[in-house]
Structure formats: structure tokens, C-alpha cells
């Protein structure tokens, strides 16, 4: 998750809150003694509370809460220790030096630790509440961004679907007419028709069965083989159960890029597409040879859009590695389904 910052309204509220707290504490327990003692002791006390509150709310909780219980506890304990040390120096040394509130600097250490711990727990609870509030606003903001992005994609898809029913009817007519003269041409039209239908009936923000996405990729590869006599592809997907789902048309982008930028016309060095599933984790890889005059697979807009889709829908649940090895380009994608 990205860093959650304070808004101007948050800052105003916190300034007002601390002013009220300071005024309240001084009204019920005025600190007697020299002005310098009043300034140093009170200032250190408030700074110590501020440190504990904001260190937890802006550093410890955003980084570790909900991700690692151990690291969260370590962060809280670390903050508590620093808070105790500063209070100890303030109450048992600075108070004593200025000879103010002798009852504070003479109380037993056990009582001091117990009271400070209770107050610290209250501060930590307030910090956690503040962080949760910021997190809710952050998630709402991210959701609004996601909704906006989806709206733009839907509008874009709507433009592409102009007269789609007519197009599908035309493809069906061509298939029926050409089937009498060329089985291969009819098969190519049939595959293309299946791909168009799949594109129309799937929405970018709604998951589909992984098995259907594999069929879509296989149709694309089979179509490319029909369009050219020299297309060599090793495509393996293994056994995929029906209860696995994925957001549509992300994987196909990497396959399309391999055909666009790579070499696939040599039987000894085919384009390799592999998909495997381990539990709820999907491993997808594309390897292709590259020519001297061919651009890198990652240079096009297609792969950029695929990465945007991964960021939008999978956030921290994917790992994408692309690398150029001599005359070979490799894409490795790991997805938590």
C-alpha cells in the first residue's frame, strides 16, 4: 500500500486537539516553578506523547498492521520502550533538577511503569483508530480511481462493439459459404468468431474461468497457425479445474506481443507458452526468439496496458519479470488467483 498522508483538515483537527489537551491539563494540574522548568518539562511530556501517537499512526501501523503480527508487536514494543525512557528521564531527572513536583520524581519505579503503560495503551488505541480512519479514506479513494478506470475501459469497449451483432452474423454467413470450398478458411473464420464472441461477453472487471481463458489463448494460437504455414508454438496448460478464476484478456497480451515482436517460424526454436497452477497460484511464461531487427516485447502499448490491468486488479498479488537473454525474450508472470 502506498503511503497514507495527512490532509489539511487532518492537520487542523490535530492542532486544535493538542491545543485543547494542553489547556485542559494545565487547568487541572498547573506546573509550579520557574518558567524555564514549565517550558522544558511540559514540552518534553507533550513531545513524548506526540512521538508515541504519530510514530504508531504514521509509521508502524501503515507498514505492518494486518501484514505481520510479529513486526507490529515489535514496533509497538519499540515505541513503548522509547516512550518509557523519555518519561523516566523527564520525571526522575529533569523534574528533580528543577525541584518541581517532588511526589512525581519520588514515586516507586513500579508505579511509574504501570501508569505509563496504561496511558501508552490509550495512546496506541487512539493511534490505531486514527490509522483505520485514514486507511478507510485511502481505500475509498482507490476504489473511486478503480471505478473511473473501469468506466473508461467500458466506454472504450462500447466503441469497439459498434455493430457487433452484424459482424457476428456476417462471420457466420462467410463460414457457411466458404466451408463448401475450404475447410481451413472456414475453420479460421470459426476461431475468429469464437474470439470475438468471447471478447464481447466478458467484462474487464469480472473474472472468468481460467479454463475459458486458456481456450481463448489456444484459439488465438490455432488461428495464427491457420493464417501462416510456418508457425511453431509449444503451448501447454496442464490440468486446470473449473473453480479457478482470472480477470480476462491479460495473459493473451503477452502471447500477442511474442507473435508481434518475436520469431516463431523455426521448428527447432518454437515460441513457448506455458501455464501451470500450484494451488491458488498460477505460473505463466512466454519465451520467444528475437531477431536483429525486432523490437523488445516490452516496447509496445499492449504490455503497458497489461501491466496497468495487473496493478488495477491484482495490486500486490502478482509478480511480473521480463528479461532479455541473448537472443531470447522471456516473460514470467506469477498470479495469486
Render pLDDT for 207-260 as a digit per residue (tens, 0 to 9).
999 999 999 999 999 988 888 878 899 999 877 877 899 999 899 999 998 888
Whether residue 152 lies inside any domain: the answer is no
Whether residue 155 lies inside any domain: the answer is no
Place of cell 495464427: 224
209 & 110 share domain:
no
With beta carbons less than 8 A apart as the criterion, state whether 244 and 277 touch.
yes
With beta carbons less than 8 A apart as the criterion, state whether 275 and 214 touch.
yes
Q: Look at phi and psi of residue 182 and say left if phi exceeds 0, alpha if psi is from -120 to 50, else beta.
A: beta
Q: How many C-alpha atoms does 312 have within 13 Å on its Cβ side?
A: 21
Tens of pLDDT, residue by residue over 78-133, are 999 999 999 888 888 888 787 777 777 778 888 888 888 988 898 888 888 888 88
192 & 224 share domain:
no
222 & 286 share domain:
yes
1 pLDDT band, cuts 50/70/90, is very low
User: What Rg, from alpha-carbon coordinates, does the chain have?
Assistant: 32
Q: Which of the pair, 231 or 304, is modelled with greater confidence?
A: 231
30 & 112 share domain:
yes
Residues in the chain: 337
Residue-range definition of the domain harbouring residue 179: 161-201
What predicted TM-score, i.e. pTM, was given to this entire model? 0.55
CA angle 322, 323, 328 (to 5 degrees): 120
- Mean pLDDT comparison of 167-181, 273-287, 292-306, 308-322, highest-scoring range: 273-287
Domain count, the chain: 3
71 & 183 share domain:
no
What single-letter DSSP state applies at residue 230? Answer: -
Q: Which of the pair, 258 or 26, is modelled with greater confidence?
A: 258
> CB count, 10 Å around CB of 123?
21
With beta carbons less than 8 A apart as the criterion, state whether 249 and 214 touch.
no
Amino acid at each position: 500500500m502506498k503511503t497514507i498522508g495527512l490532509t489539511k483538515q487532518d492537520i487542523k483537527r490535530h492542532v486544535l486537539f493538542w491545543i485543547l489537551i494542553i489547556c485542559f491539563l494545565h487547568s487541572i494540574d498547573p506546573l509550579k516553578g520557574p518558567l524555564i522548568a514549565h517550558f522544558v518539562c511540559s514540552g518534553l511530556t507533550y513531545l513524548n506523547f506526540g512521538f508515541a501517537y504519530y510514530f504508531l499512526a504514521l509509521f508502524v501501523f501503515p507498514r505492518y498492521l494486518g501484514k505481520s503480527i510479529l513486526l507490529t508487536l515489535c514496533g509497538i514494543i519499540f515505541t513503548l520502550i522509547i516512550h518509557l525512557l523519555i518519561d523516566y528521564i523527564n520525571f526522575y531527572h529533569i523534574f528533580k533538577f528543577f525541584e518541581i513536583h517532588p511526589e512525581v520524581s519520588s514515586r516507586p519505579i513500579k508505579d511509574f511503569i504501570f501508569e505509563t503503560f496504561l496511558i501508552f495503551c490509550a495512546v496506541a488505541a487512539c493511534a490505531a483508530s486514527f490509522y483505520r480512519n485514514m486507511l478507510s479514506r485511502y481505500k475509498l479513494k482507490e476504489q473511486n480511481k478503480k471505478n473511473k478506470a473501469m468506466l473508461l475501459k467500458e466506454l472504450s469497449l462500447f466503441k469497439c462493439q459498434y455493430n457487433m451483432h452484424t459482424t457476428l452474423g456476417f462471420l457466420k454467413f462467410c463460414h457457411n459459404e466458404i466451408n463448401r470450398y475450404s475447410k481451413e478458411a472456414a475453420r479460421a473464420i470459426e476461431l475468429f468468431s469464437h474470439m470475438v464472441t468471447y471478447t464481447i461477453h466478458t467484462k474487464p472487471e469480472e473474472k472468468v474461468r481460467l479454463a475459458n481463458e486458456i481456450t481463448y489463448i489456444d484459439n488465438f494460437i490455432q488461428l495464427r497457425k491457420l493464417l501462416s504455414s510456418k508457425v511453431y508454438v509449444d503451448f501447454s496448460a496442464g490440468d486446470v479445474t473449473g473453480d479457478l478464476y482470472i480477470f480476462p484478456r491479460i495473459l493473451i497480451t503477452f502471447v500477442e506481443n511474442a507473435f508481434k515482436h518475436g520469431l516463431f517460424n523455426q521448428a527447432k526454436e518454437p515460441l513457448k507458452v506455458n501455464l501451470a497452477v500450484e494451488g491458488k497460484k498460477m505460473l505463466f511464461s512466454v519465451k520467444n526468439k528475437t531477431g536483429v531487427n525486432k523490437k523488445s516485447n516490452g516496447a509496445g502499448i499492449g504490455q503497458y496496458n497489461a501491466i496497468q490491468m495487473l496493478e488495477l486488479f491484482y495490486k500486490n498479488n502478482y509478480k511480473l519479470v521480463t528479461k532479455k537473454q541473448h537472443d531470447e525474450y522471456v516473460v514470467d508472470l506469477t498470479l495469486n488467483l
